[in-house]
Amino acid sequence: MYRLTGERIILREYRREDLVHMRKWVNDYDITKYLSNLFLYPHSISDTENFLNAMIEGNSNMKGFIIAHKGTEEYIGQLDLIKIDWLNRVGTIGIVIGTKENLGKGYGTEAIKLLQGFAFNELNLNKLELEVRDYNKRAISCYKKCGFIEEGIIRENYYIDGKYTDTIRMGVLKKEWKSV
């Protein structure tokens, strides 16, 4: 079982007992408004169980980790490589801190930095990329701390709270990461 260990957190495998923690945020608008359209509609317990089972059983195209407290291994959130283009050596990441009490504590930054080491050194990826909504200032700050740079803006392609917003594409190359 592969784990990545940081100063305060570990990136560990998905477990069945994570279901209760995932259910706490998966229909919470304050968390999901920063995520993809996948969370536009309520998720049933069956939806969440199916996702979790696919991750546990390795039947998902995504590969990822649970972000957990180092000492207790208690769930904080998830960090996934939602897509890997093996030919071009590019990974697309998605992250959620699913517990409001853990927002703004630097867990996301620590988790991404751990994943970068794994992706660049173990998987030999050349680039990690992501998309973030322009109103998600906390996430943008986190990504910049991890060396991601803005690569482009997709204008007014996301509708939320009665208005159109931009999506920012960000990326970091292996050679840039090594200098961070």
pLDDT in tens, 142-172: 999 999 999 999 999 999 889 999 999 999 9
Q: What is the pLDDT of residues 46-83, one digit of tens each?
A: 999 999 999 999 888 889 999 999 999 999 999 999 99
CATH number at residue 24: 3.40.630.30
* Structure-block tokens of residue 4: 């990545």
Neighbouring residues of 122: CB distance < 8 A, sequence distance ≥ 6 = none
Q: Which two tokens stand for residue 138?
A: 């906390």
Ordered alpha helix ranges (H), the chain: 19-25, 29-32, 45-57, 107-117, 137-145, 174-178
pTM above 0.95, yes or no: no
At residue 25, the 3 state secondary structure works out as helix
Residue 16 confidence (pLDDT): 96
Domain housing 86: 4-178
What total of structural domains would you count in the chain? 1
Look up residue 167 and give its two tokens. 């999506």
